[in-house]
A and B are shown apart, each in its own frame.
Chain A
Amino acid sequence: MTIAASTELICFLILSVVIIAGGIGIVFLENIVYSAFLLGGVFMAIAGLYLLLNASFVAAAQILVYVGAVNVLILFAIMLVNKREDPKPIKGLQLRKIISAGVCAGLLALLIRVDLTTPWSLPGPTSIGELATERIGEHLFTDYLLPFELASVLLLMAMIGAIVLARRDVLITDVGTGKEVNQGLIEKATSPLLIDKNSSS
């Protein structure tokens, strides 16, 4: 085994340990801020896996989009809704956790069995290595042009939708009549619609 090969193996092992441990931490840690920072670490480890697979462009996109945008967005959401609350105890929660763990273990066993028993047509064609970025560009502007354009429309829709959903209603006065005009795009009653009888606040 050459040095390059063993280095690759060691990198893969380290990255996969980071990914699995980080994933378990995200799900099980009590403090959600720690979970959010662990999520950033997991995203970067996955970008490292992409580098191992000769995909530098996708690794850069992963870091830019996931760590730079999604993770920061999640941190902002945590800060905006940061309220220490002890969730109400629910009957049968422990049983529910055990049952869902059983279902997930079954799914995992199924997936691993499929992974190991399927005869993959290895070895495939030779990897084009560093030319991957150019090839992605060719794909995006020839045979994947329609999905590419649709993705831009989707991003626009998501941006407008997020603004509409998250904004507060703005009250400004009408120029002609002097009355207050509700400029909110979502119809909303002024008093809370859903008064939870159990919550004190």
Chain B
Amino acid sequence: MFNSPIEQVPLQAYLILASLLFCIGVWGLINSRNAVRVLMSIELMLNAVNINLMAFSAYLDGELIRGQVFTVFVITVAAAEAAVGLAILLSIYRNRVTVDMESFNLLRW
């Protein structure tokens, strides 16, 4: 695996896998009633994007692996986002004593 180009699994297989995962994440983001599950769906979407970046980095940019650098940055930002998102969730839960997304309608009107 060291010197041989990875040609057995086509690039499109990785891209289709990432598309499937992204769409599952979008559906979960829209339809989840539980706020924690919404955060999990966001993590799924971020991971789908990471798979795309890694596949492009390995297949199209094997010399300068810029996709891997971007993936490292995305992982960093995702960790920060998860921490702040869960802190906001805890803070809302203290006020409203629920995690149901349908009752978080403060900013609607």
Contacts and interface: CB of A to CB of B under 8 A. Distances in A.
Interface string A133-159: 001100110001001000100110111
Contacts of A70: 43, 78-79, 82
Nearest to A36: B40
A9 B58 contact: no
Contact of A80 (B16, B83, B90): B90
Contact of A55 (B57, B97, B102): B57
Contacts of B98: 83, 85, 196, 199
Contacts, number: 263
Interface residues of A, number: 94
A163 to B, nearest CB: 8
A100 B29 CA distance: 10
Contact of B89 (A49, A81, A139): A81
A20 B9 contact: no
A115 interface: yes
A196 B26 CA distance: 29
A104 B72 contact: no
Contacts of A112: 16, 19
Interface in B14-44: 14-17, 19-28, 30-34, 36-37, 39-41, 43-44
Contacts of A115: 12, 15-16, 19
A108 interface: yes
B11 A26 contact: no
A27 B2 CA distance: 37
Given A87-B102, A100-B27, A129 B60 contact: no
B83 A159 contact: yes
Contacts of A49: 14, 51, 54
B65 A135 contact: yes
Nearest to A124: B60
Interface of A: 1, 4-6, 8-9, 12, 16, 19-20, 23-24, 26-27, 32, 35-36, 39, 42-43, 46, 49-50, 52-55, 57-58, 61-62, 65-66, 69-70, 73-74, 76-78, 80-81, 83, 85, 87-88, 90, 96-97, 100-101, 104-105, 107-108, 111-112, 115-116, 120-130, 132, 135-136, 139-140, 144, 147, 151, 154-155, 157-159, 161-163, 165-166, 192-194, 196, 199, 201
10 contacts: A16-B17, A27-B25, A27-B27, A62-B50, A97-B31, A111-B22, A125-B63, A128-B62, A161-B87, A194-B95
